[in-house]
Structure 1
Amino acid sequence: MNAVLCTQYGPPEVLKLQKVRKPEPRDNEVLIRIRATTVTAGDIRIRAFRSPALMWLPMRLVLGITKPRKPILGVELSGEIEAIGSKVTRFKAGDQVFAMTGMKFGAHAEYLALPEKGLIAIKPEQVSFETAASVLYGGTTALHFLRKGNIRSGQKVMVYGASGTVGTLTVQLAKYFGAEVTGVCSTGNLEMVKALGADKVIDYTKENFTETGERYDMIFDAVGKTTKAHCEKALAAGGAFVTVGGMEVARELMEDVLLLQKLLAEGKIKSVIDRTYTLEQMVEAHRYVENGRKKGSVVIQVL
């Protein structure tokens, strides 16, 4: 099968399209023919090996010394189950599913075998493979940090970086939980963020949100580019500041996958897809994501 391998840590050019052995499902696994996957900020961090100085050695020991131990990156996908192991009961061949792989990675390929008890769910019938593949990373991250900030109905929530993968899902999920949402983004993304349900939008290139006099019950930094100290003036008494920019890793829970499945099926959330590439264009896709200007997700179609 075709797969994109990260042959060493470095720039996008270290990614190589290669032929590798097609996996066979074990007794408790399903074999998924991947139809779509994404390039996330996490893929960029692994490939470029971006780590705080104090964590450099521990991270190398965990991920691999000179190159990733799991050379096929990619953490979310959608596709069709081609075969199942002898002990699998949740799924059958032909099921259309979407899934997260976590630290197993492996989604930048034509096939992947995953445990049936993993983060796999049936794809809503009316949802495209591309849409299904691009909600789990951003959605589970948004849910983790919204819970950390103790999201409640009636709160005023500001999403800083509202146009990215995590930000676009955070706007929609905060609205689902009953919050009044303000999205902060650049000029070109204001209308998109409004269309996702934001009650207000702030153009950070023209206005400093900390100087508006508005106070928020939660400020959600969806891009890791601000700090609690900077946001202090805009926090209400007892308000929460949460950020994806620290060392905390969002927990990936099956209950969150099932919630996202439900909301997708009901049309209450959607993914924003900026650009679509193929496996053969993976270097270009990484280059585009790395420039930090994408809207929503960058999808890889696996033809």
Structure 2
Amino acid sequence: MKAVVIRRYGSPEVLQYEDVEQPKIQPEQLLIKIHASSVNPIDWKIRKGMLSLLTGNKFPMILGFDVAGEVIAVGSQVTRFQPGDSIYGGTGFPGGAYAEFAVVSENLVAPKPTNLTYEEAAVVPLAALTALQALREQGNIQAGQAVLINGAAGGVGIFAVQIAKALGAEVTGVCSTKNLDFVKSLGADYLIDYKRQDFTEGTAQYDIIFDVVGKRSLSTSKRVLKPNGVYITTLPTPEIFVQGILTAFIPGQKAKFIIERLNTQDLVYLKDLIEAGKIRVVIDRTYPLAELAAAHTYSETERTVGKIAIAISS
């Protein structure tokens, strides 16, 4: 099968498009023909070696987490899927989605939303699960609360705005000037142009600040966070780790970080929201698998609006 592999950590040039052996399924796994995948920041962070303590140095390595495709074969212990099913979900750590085929556990995928193409479905899992779990589990979001999304036009941000609205929150989206109308179209009630205004210096206060881009901290956000508010980030820095431990045992404001957990139940929940029209998918650009290096280069600019899709097979 065709796949993109790396044999060392480095720049986008280490991504090589070549023939590799097709994986074999275990009893609890599905063999999937991948029609599409996507690019998430964690993909190029792994490629650069930024997470080498977790990923190790066992090469060649196939990166990529998000998948949407068709079930080709099922293991003897699989009960929820059969060949021919259209699914979406993920491969789990450390990846394997940048290929024509992959094996995945059945508890990491769900039926594909019926109103999405494979490319659209492939950009949902990691980003939307991160948004959902941050708001619902770390933030304990409640209807009527004031929620600020810093980085509202990005891959996770677009889902965070829409999920917060679906859960009944009042949403403020922080983005650049050129994306204000776009974020408003996602359902944001209020908008802040970060090029003109620092949200930490405003007068409004929030129950939840979800810092998708990891540019702030609890310390810099305390003034605009309500007394029992929660600051959540996607970047588990040493500072947020320490703040998280300290605030866990002290009444008042909390600091938390989110690490997405791939699971069928939440994928089905997102599928229902998508099919109900409460979440729409936004793709900035689509690249063929052979041009994955260009896709990584674009993602690293951190100026994408929505997600980057990778078309793999028809």
TM-score of the superposed pair, with normalisation by structure 1: 0.92
1:102 match: secondary structure: coil
- Aligned-partner Cα distance in 2 for 1:235–1:205: 21
Which residue in 1 is equivalent to 2:210?
A: 220
For 1:34 and 1:78, the matched residues in 2 are separated by 6
Read off the aligned partner of 2:14 and give its amino acid letter. V
Q: Is this contact kept in 2: 1:70–1:106, CA < 8 A? A: no
Does the 8 Å contact 1:218/1:235 carry over to 2? yes
Larger mean CA deviation between 166-175 and 83-92 belongs to 83-92
Counterparts of 1:253-264 in structure 2, within 5 Å, are: 253-264=263-274
Which deviations, in whole Å up to 9, do the C-alpha atoms of 1:67-87 show, x marking residues without a partner?
x55711111110111222344
Q: CA, structure 1 residues 26+256, in 2 after alignment: closer, same or farther (shift >3 Å)?
A: same
Aligned to 2:294: 284
Structure 2 residue 12 is the aligned partner of structure 1 residue 2: no
- Paired residues in the alignment total 292
For residue 88 of structure 1, report the CA deviation from its aligned partner.
2.8
Counterpart of 2:261 in structure 1 is 251
Mapped pair 1:173 → 2:163: yes
Q: State yes or no: 1:34 paired with 2:24.
A: no
One-letter code of the match for 2:169? A
Which amino acid counterpart does residue 55 of structure 2 have in structure 1? L
Q: Which runs of 5+ in 2 are unaligned?
A: 238-256
Instruction: Choose 284-293 or 99-108, whichever is displaced more.
Output: 99-108
1: CA distance, partners of 2:112 / 2:59: 30
SS at match of 2:62: coil
State the 1:115 CA deviation: 2.3
Q: Distance in 2 between matches of 1:208 and 1:124?
A: 38
Q: Secondary structure at the match of 1:236?
A: strand
CA distance, structure 2, for counterparts of residue 72 and residue 261 of structure 1: 27
Give the equivalent residue in structure 1 for 2:12: 12
Q: Which runs of 5+ in 1 are unaligned?
A: 52-58
Q: 1:69 to 1:203 in 2, by over 3 A?
A: same
Q: Where does residue 125 of structure 1 map in the other structure?
A: 114
- Cα distance, 1:181–1:138 mapped onto 2, change above 3 Å: same
Offset, 1:288: 0.3
In structure 1, give the amino acid aligned to 2:119: E
Matches within 5 A, 1:106-117: 106-116=96-106
| Residue of structure 2 in register with 1:98 after alignment | 88
Following superposition, the deviation at residue 18 of structure 1 comes to 1.2
Return the letter of the residue paired with 2:146: K
Deviation at 1:24, TM superposition (A): 3.0
Q: Which of 178, 188, 211 is equivalent to 1:188?
A: 178
CA distance in 1, matches of 2:173, 2:180: 8
Instruction: Flag as ranges the 4+ runs of structure 1 deviating above 3 A.
Output: none
Contact 1:224–1:245 (CA<8 Å) still a contact in 2? yes
How far the C-alpha of 1:23 sits from its partner, in A, is 2.0
Distance in 2 between residues matched to 1:297 and 1:170, nearest whole Å? 13
Mapped to 2, the partners of 1:88 and 1:102 lie a distance apart of 17
Report the Cα offset of residue 127 of structure 1.
Answer: 1.3
Q: Percent sequence identity over matched residues?
A: 42
> How far 1:31 moved relative to its partner?
1.2
Contact 1:131 1:270 in 2 (8 A): no
State whether residues 126 and 260 of structure 2, in contact with CA within 8 Å, keep that contact through their aligned partners in structure 1.
no
Equivalent residues of 2:55, 2:94 under 8 A apart: no
CA distance in 1 between counterparts of 2:78 and 2:92 reads 20
* Per-residue CA distance 1:167-222 (angstroms, 9 max, x = gap): 11100111111100000000111111111110011110011212221111111001
The one-letter amino acid of 2:280's match is K
**Taking structure 1 as reference, are residues 70 and 140 closer, same or farther at Cα in structure 2, changes over 3 Å only?**
farther
Alpha carbons 1:135, 1:270 under 8 Å: kept: no
